[in-house]
Structure 1
């Protein structure tokens, strides 16, 4: 699979990351087949979080991949922490204990990347900095990033954290693309001109932070997928038209729409279906034309001024 540099690191990562949030929803045999398919497709970047399945997803992953030092060398592991029941927690104590739990469940000595999950309103960035320093010094985490954060939230962390922020995981799909479409609605009086994210897309590009779109096929907030959904007839017609041209699935084109953006994003899959995973990976071989990309955008309902 095609690769990109992750943030400012020298780490070459596949352009499609494999999300493991639902690994606990399938049986062991299917989980093993899913992980092996990812490896066979060159999808060696696996995204986890300590809350996925209450930790079970990380345990299942380590089990089915038969984690060992030789296996560990061939994959890239990312996990997230900071979400607790009914609260968020970026305290030093919680970050350190979370990472220890993650490493134990994944049966590894280190994470390639640790992301801070949903922003903690009570964050004390000095504590985050202390936690990151200790994790780096102990060799438990090699790179650090965030998830669902605005430019100002990242800047606040950077005032104290010395490690580069290499990734920001954000909700982004064709139907949830305001961070992109706001760019052509500057100084307009329509709803698409409203700044909901502080200009995070341009901020990440300016600071070499890799955007990792999550839920790349969802509309709303986990309301369902837009592909083959009668709520989006024009969008699906356009995607199907382009898919027929390239002789690929609609999944491939929807993923390819994100990969066509020059920000060099790394979408995170959410499927546990082997064929859909293959279709996602196939998108790394597709390069939509400018006309096709804008055609999908307008079919999704975004109006060009």
Structure 2
């Protein structure tokens, strides 16, 4: 199908992009990598009057270090996140999760910030961002504000972004020396996750000192498996202790039932995949 007619704007700075968004009003759409938006436009599930393309805003690309955090620009591609040395060293969970996103073509065009702002509960980057306690930096006519990942995701495809704001960068606290794994269950290669688990662990002397576990597609928003995290701390990094902790994975979740799986099956998957993800992370 052919999209509805719209005006096209290609700003070259964040200020220009914010200005264009304010002038366009709520009928505007922001184009990042376009891997989610373009199919929606073609099917006319969205009919914006203005399309604001961020592709020429160079300041939104790249990864940098800022004290105890690394900062990832919203327009940084999945491919660049995969290959970045700072992400590998300080936020390994993001790298291993990004490795599973779609296929190489999508990873070369899709963007880190675009995926997060799209807020699909089956998307592979939301749970890792939540598990790492990331902060989202938003920019609008009144300046910049920072929102925690826990407060950013509101509902299905809904975030704390206001209609006149852009997601400009993601600040991720350094998890240097933490091991990580992302365990994803889908029916066919490159499909959305039916359930997935993002796990990162810091071990000391054969025991688990800290753990962070995020769940994908177990609610309308990503979910932290806090009961699992609490059960792991201080326990030996063994298959037995991990399996026991993973039994708490579905607590507090509210998965949907659909053509791929019912809620009970998703809760079962959460427990199994949490055990697998943690075992792979610690090498148990």
TM bucket normalised to smaller:
under 0.3
RCO greater where, 1 or 2, for CA within 8 Å and sep 6 or more? Answer: 1
TM-score (norm 2): 0.27
More strand by share: 2
